[in-house]
Structure 1
């Protein structure tokens, strides 16, 4: 699979802005491992192989267990995730798969029982950003693994 067009070059200013926005995630109030789990789940939902590949590798570099990554597609049923992690994954699915009613008050209230306002705001930004990257990966077919060296995930030995 080859990339369909070079959007980083064609829309350089917007691409650089999205990169800069993505970089702010290093300062989020939520554990980076949880953010990576959310990115993996959203990428699964959106069918973005490039992002799925990258964020699995990033999660592994942060020490995430392989079995938990395998269980992400069935997190509802898995006992490997905490209630807070499940709330984050549920929030990610709600914001990735909108229905005609949007997010109900009960769903918002449930997320708020696990996350402070700052954490929920940061989590929502993370979900929005990965959804944006997924759109580019799906539309233009970024090659999985092509940026491993740049992101420093080439050292973990996943091929």
Structure 2
């Protein structure tokens, strides 16, 4: 895979603003372990190799169990996720692949049963955030692992 262009160099002001947005999400109501699941699942659905590679490594550095990372793609069938985690993954999938008529009421009610209004709002911004990163990295074919040293991801020991 060859990167088409470096959007960070081409639009540094916009990159910095979007990075600030993402950093604000990290300080919100959704715990880090859930944000890792959101980033992994959205990146899988969007086919974003760069982001999937990055977030799997981050999850490992944050202490996530390897088998759970493998099971994110099959979360509905897996017994490794709590009801709260399942709700987060369902919301991530629904917002990443919006149905033609919007978010169904039953999905909203299931997710709302597990999250406060503040958490649901913050989760929505987290899904928006990773979907934006996915789109930029897919569009410009950012090479997986190309920023490992810069982000300290080489310490994950995944190669």
TM range (shorter): over 0.9
- Which ranges in structure 1 are unaligned for 5 or more consecutive residues? none
Aligned to 2:68: 68
Using the alignment, how far apart are the partners of 2:20 and 2:33 within structure 1?
Answer: 20
Using the alignment, how far apart are the partners of 2:113 and 2:140 within structure 1?
Answer: 38
- Which ranges in structure 2 are unaligned for 5 or more consecutive residues? none
TM-score (norm 1): 0.96
Higher mean Cα deviation, 135-144 or 5-14? 5-14
Using the alignment, how far apart are the partners of 2:137 and 2:84 within structure 1?
Answer: 29
Q: For residues 61-113 of structure 1, what are the alpha-carbon distances to aligned partners after superposition, in whole Å with 9 as ceiling and x for unaligned?
A: 11101101111111000000001100100000000001111002221121111
Aligned to 1:43: 43
CA RMSD after TM alignment: 1.0
**In 1, are the aligned partners of 2:58 and 2:156 still within 8 Å (CA)?**
no
Aligned positions, number = 159
Query: Structure 1 runs of 4+ off > 3 angstroms?
Result: none
**C-alpha deviation, 1:25, in angstroms:** 2.2
Q: Quick check: 1:105 aligned with 2:105?
A: yes
Q: For residues 26-57 of structure 1, what are the alpha-carbon distances to aligned partners after superposition, in whole Å with 9 as ceiling and x for unaligned?
A: 21211101110111011000000000000000
Q: Matches of residues 1-159 of structure 1 in structure 2 within 5 Å?
A: 1-159=1-159
TM-score (norm 2): 0.96
